Structures are given as C-alpha cells and as structure tokens.
Amino acid sequence: SAVISQKPSRDICQRGTSLTIQCQVDSQVTMMFWYRQQPGQSLTLIATANQGSEATYESGFVIDKFPISRPNLTFSTLTVSNMSPEDSSIYLCSATGTATNYGYTFGSGTRLTVV
C-alpha cells in the first residue's frame, strides 16, 4: 500500500489566519481524501481531492473555508482559511489506489490549535 507523508505534523495558529497542509504519497493513487478528527471524535470526511479539477465537498464543508488542490496523482494540499478556535482539530490525508483490498492509507495527521 502507499505511504503518505503529511506536514506540518502540528501547528499553533492565530485566529483569522490560514494554514496549508501538504500531503505527499510515495506512489500514484487514484483517490485522495481529507478528513477532520475533532478531539475524542471519529473521522469526518471533508472532501475528495480530484486531480486537475475542483474538489468534491461533503455537506457542511465549503471551498471558501477549505480550499483543496491536487495538481498531480501524488500530491494534495488542504488550506484551513480564516481560522477560529472551532477549527482546532486533527486533519488527516488519505489515499487509495485502484483496488480497496488494502484499504485506505492515512497520513499521520496535522494537529492544529487555533488561539
């Protein structure tokens, strides 16, 4: 299965600023996703990152707040814009290939604290 590098691993940001999280996969993958995991909660899908086109957002998440790029088959970024303390969470990148038999691989996550 693919190996995912995600950075930064953690950051503390001022409210009103933006943070861009990078996700690099060591092989070409079909699909890439971004999740949010709030403290003590499970994972919530933010969006599917589509290569060469606009991301597909889940209900409750909008492009203006969480712009996503995926310029090629191995790289994606998620920006958390105009941050507020409610955005404090762990953000996870995930990827899968053409078959799901090995599941969806996850990065180690970015722990974001907004003060």
Partner 1 sequence: EDQVTQSPEALRLQEGESSSLNCSYTVSGLRGLFWYRQDPGKGPEFLFTLYSAGEEKEKERLKATLTKKESFLHITAPKPEDSATYLCAVVTGGYQKVTFGTGTKLQVIP
Identify which range of 11-19, 70-78, 81-89, 102-110 contacts partner 1 by CB under 8 A: 102-110
Residue 76 in contact with partner 1, rule: CB under 8 A: no
- Partners of 32 in the β-ladder: 49, 95
- By DSSP bridging, strand 43-49 and strand 68-72 are unpaired
Residue 94 in contact with partner 1, rule: CB under 8 A: yes
Residue 31 in contact with partner 1, rule: CB under 8 A: yes
Residue 43 in contact with partner 1, rule: CB under 8 A: yes
- Partners of 14 in the β-ladder: none
